[in-house]
């Protein structure tokens, strides 16, 4: 895979530099070191430590790692000892006070936050941040109300009505890059796959200042519109309020809002140097075909004939291999190791063949959903499916998608054991590949969830067809997804079935042609799930530090025990590379867009150092 469209900037020969590792440092010392260090970091602000909030912190840390954003966890009390001046803001341009973990911020944190924002900082506050005192009682006025211009605690006036639920109505897509299809077509309400508009826990917040920009509303069950996401320009900085509990939601398989808010604060409002989470800083598309049953045999043949499968675009082709579908002997299966075998061979030339569950599509999913399969039976069925496919392709099966989306966490543990690295996921919809959380815990550190992109409440073309969506609308929707991943240089998964091709022939053909063109223009890559999963597993092992050497010189050091290959370092575009070295000879490539400059190498170096200077 060549870096088409990327400029070669220089070739260099490396020289070693020893880096001391710090381990087992007490928390207070670590915080002081963090705040004294010249390194740039986002601050995750905690109030008095509450054990019951640790899951929120873990969820947020997981997202920041996946976003490649350098960060540190610091207590509000430690921050109060620091002067939040321009120099401080230059090193810590974003401070995030999350739900739960920042609930009981000290009173003095209000004036501190105000000075921090006036000096140019971006403050993000979510849900109940700063709304309680040290003993957990509701405050009359929130600690951050002044700077946010929004009152998040209305207990004195509303009592039990201070907390309610609400749907999130996106008002300003120009500020919040909500993926297409994540809202309903008829309104701009955030929507989940199958569920329709999602209902979030929210505070019955009230705007207190006229200069508060409403990015999203929260609409309560009684129809009241309260601030959902707000932005306020204060001095040289920004104060942002995100009403839903971002960290809590992330830890319960609703990743998107936290990620969008982090991206707005870190990429858009501050342009913080970071590692960019897509290979070669390109848009990435996982096209996941689910090959369910005998009907797909004809459809796969048509796809091959019409060149919907073609060189250069490598989809994830997941097959349910058995000869039956609903019950043994019905002969409704794809029969990969029988009648379907020549098709599996032909498909394997264009993409990666993965697993679509345990041997028989509906038979497996119904029994799994009803709890009628033991872990040992589930494992045996998934193994049986893989064994058949591996025999044909000679390649290990390491990608999975659940038939009918039935995927209890137990299945992920089985996948882990069987050496899978990625799976199609109906939670966290609209998000990039992620190590998903469920019930406050990360489900797996090794197997990556690939959330599906939706069209409102549906995702596959079959479902669009059933909902009677016209072909022109499908065509526009698919195009919007391709444009979204290109514009945001991000990775997303879409899925459908081969027989859907017959339902929307024009939309599918146009989509394939468009994606092919974008790939040829080096604006997008279509790669299988497993490849992206391996990239992201390596990506989260990378440690990057960015530090100011002087007022115009930025130093970046990236280390990765596995390799830094393909992982882009992003700095504001006006900073030009002046020096670089690595632990082995590498060639650097760069891409530039209106906001950032991205540099990466294709060679498996383990340490890369770069120096950038502000162009005069
Ligand atoms: Zn299926």
Cα(505)–Cα(502) distance, rounded to whole angstroms?
A: 5
480 CA → ligand 1 middle, Å: 24
292 CA → ligand 1 middle, Å: 5
Q: What is the DSSP letter of 183?
A: B
462 CA → ligand 1 middle, Å: 10
Cα(415)–Cα(45) distance, rounded to whole angstroms?
A: 36
**Cβ atoms of 115 and 237 closer than 8 Å:** no
pLDDT tens-place string over residues 281-308: 999 999 999 999 999 999 999 999 999 9
427 CA → ligand 1 middle, Å: 16
307 CA → ligand 1 middle, Å: 22
Q: If pLDDT is split at 50, 70 and 90, which confidence band does 22 have? A: very low
| Three-state secondary structure readout of 332-376 | CECCCCCCCHHHHHHHHCCCEEEECCCCCHHHHHHHHHCCCCCHH
Cα(242)–Cα(40) distance, rounded to whole angstroms?
A: 24
572 CA → ligand 1 middle, Å: 43
183 CA → ligand 1 middle, Å: 24
**Cβ atoms of 237 and 117 closer than 8 Å:** yes
Helix (H) or strand (E) holding 102: none
356 CA → ligand 1 middle, Å: 7
435 CA → ligand 1 middle, Å: 23
Average pLDDT over residues 534-551: 97
361 CA → ligand 1 middle, Å: 7
Q: Are strands 122-126 and 94-97 parallel, antiparallel or unpaired?
A: parallel
68 CA → ligand 1 middle, Å: 33
360 CA → ligand 1 middle, Å: 10
285 CA → ligand 1 middle, Å: 19
Report which of 411, 418, 420, 294 is spatially closest to residue 362, judged by C-alpha positions: 294
User: In whole numbers, what is the pLDDT of the chain averaged over residues?
Assistant: 94
Average pLDDT over residues 200-215: 97
Return the SS3 of 480.
helix
Task: Determine the pLDDT at residue 15.
Answer: 36
Q: Cα Rg for the chain, rounded, in angstroms?
A: 25
283 CA → ligand 1 middle, Å: 26
Average pLDDT over residues 472-478: 94
Q: What is the DSSP letter of 132?
A: B
Tell me the torsion sign for CA atoms 151, 153, 158, 164.
positive
pLDDT tens-place string over residues 393-405: 999 999 999 999 9
Report which of 181, 278, 184, 266 is spatially closest to residue 488, judged by C-alpha positions: 278
Task: Determine the pLDDT at residue 527.
Answer: 98
Cα maximum dimension of the chain: 74
555 CA → ligand 1 middle, Å: 49
335 CA → ligand 1 middle, Å: 14
403 CA → ligand 1 middle, Å: 4
From the CB of residue 473, how many other CB atoms can be counted at a distance below 10 Å? 14
404 CA → ligand 1 middle, Å: 5
Cα(67)–Cα(86) distance, rounded to whole angstroms?
A: 25
353 CA → ligand 1 middle, Å: 14
Average pLDDT over residues 222-232: 98
Task: Determine the pLDDT at residue 12.
Answer: 45
- The pLDDT of residue 419 is above 90: yes
Average pLDDT over residues 522-544: 97
357 CA → ligand 1 middle, Å: 8
Say if residue 291 is exposed, middle or buried (CB neighbours under 10 Å; 0-12, 13-18, 19+). buried
Phi/psi of residue 225, nearest 5 degrees: -100, 120
Q: If pLDDT is split at 50, 70 and 90, which confidence band does 49 have? A: low
Return the SS3 of 493.
strand
- State which residues have CB under 5 angstroms from ligand 1, the bound ion: 290, 292, 403
197 CA → ligand 1 middle, Å: 24
Cα(254)–Cα(474) distance, rounded to whole angstroms?
A: 25
Helix (H) or strand (E) holding 486: helix 471-488
- The pLDDT of residue 14 is above 50: no
528 CA → ligand 1 middle, Å: 17
Q: Residue 223 is encoded by which pair of tokens? A: 């129809």
Q: What is the DSSP letter of 498?
A: T
* Domains (range + CATH), the chain: 1-27+550-616 (no CATH), 37-275 (3.40.50.880), 279-535 (3.20.20.370)
- Between residues 466 and 15, the one the model is more confident about: 466
pLDDT tens-place string over residues 50-83: 788 999 999 999 999 999 999 999 999 999 999 9
**Cβ atoms of 18 and 70 closer than 8 Å:** no
Cα(326)–Cα(333) distance, rounded to whole angstroms?
A: 8
405 CA → ligand 1 middle, Å: 8
294 CA → ligand 1 middle, Å: 12
483 CA → ligand 1 middle, Å: 26
Cα(304)–Cα(350) distance, rounded to whole angstroms?
A: 10
537 CA → ligand 1 middle, Å: 27
576 CA → ligand 1 middle, Å: 48
**Cβ atoms of 584 and 603 closer than 8 Å:** yes
Percent of the chain scored above 70 by pLDDT? 96
Average pLDDT over residues 36-49: 91
Cα(152)–Cα(125) distance, rounded to whole angstroms?
A: 10
Question: Which alpha helices (DSSP H) does 161-232 contain, by range?
Answer: none
Task: Determine the pLDDT at residue 28.
Answer: 81
Q: If pLDDT is split at 50, 70 and 90, which confidence band does 173 have? A: very high
355 CA → ligand 1 middle, Å: 10
Task: Determine the pLDDT at residue 457.
Answer: 86
319 CA → ligand 1 middle, Å: 8
291 CA → ligand 1 middle, Å: 6
Task: Determine the pLDDT at residue 21.
Answer: 34
In the chain the first and final C-alpha atoms are separated, in Å, by: 35
């Amino acid at each position: 895979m060549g870096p088409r469209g990327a400029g070669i900037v220089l070739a260099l020969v490396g020289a070693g530099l020893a880096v001391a590792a710090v381990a087992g440092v007490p928390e207070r010392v670590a915080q002081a070191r963090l705040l004294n260090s010249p390194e740039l970091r986002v601050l995750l602000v905690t109030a008095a430590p509450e054990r019951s909030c640790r899951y929120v912190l873990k969820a947020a840390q997981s997202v920041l790692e996946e976003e490649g954003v350098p960060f540190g966890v610091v207590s509000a009390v430690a921050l109060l000892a620091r002067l939040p001046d321009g120099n401080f803001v230059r090193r810590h341009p974003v401070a995030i006070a999350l739900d739960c973990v920042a609930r009981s911020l000290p009173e003095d944190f209000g004036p501190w936050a105000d000075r921090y924002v006036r000096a140019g900082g971006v403050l993000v506050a979510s849900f109940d941040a700063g709304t309680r005192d040290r003993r957990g009682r509701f405050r009359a006025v929130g600690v951050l109300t002044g700077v946010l211009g929004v009152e998040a605690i209305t207990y004195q006036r509303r009592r039990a009505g201070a907390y309610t639920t609400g749907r999130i109505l996106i008002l300003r897509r120009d500020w919040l890059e909500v993926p297409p299809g994540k809202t309903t077509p008829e309104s701009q309400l955030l929507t989940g796959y199958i569920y329709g508009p999602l209902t979030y826990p929210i505070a019955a917040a009230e705007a207190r200042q006229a200069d508060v920009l409403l990015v999203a509303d929260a609409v309560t069950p009684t129809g009241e519109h309260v601030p959902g996401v707000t932005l306020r320009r204060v001095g040289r900085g920004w104060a942002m309020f995100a009403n839903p509990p971002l960290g809590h939601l992330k830890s319960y398989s609703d990743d998107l809002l936290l990620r969008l808010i982090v991206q707005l604060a870190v990429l858009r409002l501050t342009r913080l140097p970071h590692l960019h989470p897509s290979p070669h800083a390109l848009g990435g598309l996982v096209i996941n075909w689910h090959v369910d049953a005998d009907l797909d045999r004809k459809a796969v043949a048509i796809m091959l004939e019409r060149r919907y499968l073609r060189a250069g675009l490598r989809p994830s082709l997941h097959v349910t291999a058995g000869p039956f579908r609903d019950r043994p002997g019905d002969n409704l299966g794809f029969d990969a190791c029988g009648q379907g075998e020549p098709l599996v061979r032909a498909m394997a030339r264009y993409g990666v063949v993965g697993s679509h569950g345990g041997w028989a599509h509906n038979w497996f999913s119904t029994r799994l959903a009803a709890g009628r399969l033991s872990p040992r039976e589930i494992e045996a069925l998934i193994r049986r499916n893989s064994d058949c496919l591996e025999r044909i392709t000679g390649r290990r099966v390491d990608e999975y998608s659940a038939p009918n989306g039935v995927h209890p966490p137990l299945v992920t543990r089985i996948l882990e054991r069987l050496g899978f690295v990625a799976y199609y996921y109906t939670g966290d919809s609209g998000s990039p590949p992620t190590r998903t959380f469920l019930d406050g815990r990360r489900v797996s550190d090794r197997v990556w969830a690939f959330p599906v992109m939706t069209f409102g409440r549906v995702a596959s073309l079959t479902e669009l067809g059933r909902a009677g969506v016209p072909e022109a609308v499908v065509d526009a929707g698919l195009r919007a997804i391709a444009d979204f991943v290109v514009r945001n240089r991000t990775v997303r998964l879409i899925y459908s079935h081969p027989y859907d091709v017959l339902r929307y022939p024009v939309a599918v053909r146009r989509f394939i042609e468009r994606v092919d063109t974008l790939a040829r223009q080096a604006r997008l890559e279509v790669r299988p799930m497993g490849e992206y999963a391996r990239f992201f597993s390596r990506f989260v092992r990378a440690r990057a530090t960015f530090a100011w050497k002087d007022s115009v010189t930025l130093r970046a050091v990236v280390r990765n025990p596995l390799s830094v290959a393909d992982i882009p370092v992003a700095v504001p575009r006006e900073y030009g590379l002046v020096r670089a070295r690595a632990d082995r000879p590498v060639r650097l490539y760069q891409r530039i867009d209106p906001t950032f400059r991205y540099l990466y190498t294709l060679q498996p170096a383990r340490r890369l150092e770069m120096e950038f200077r502000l162009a005069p």
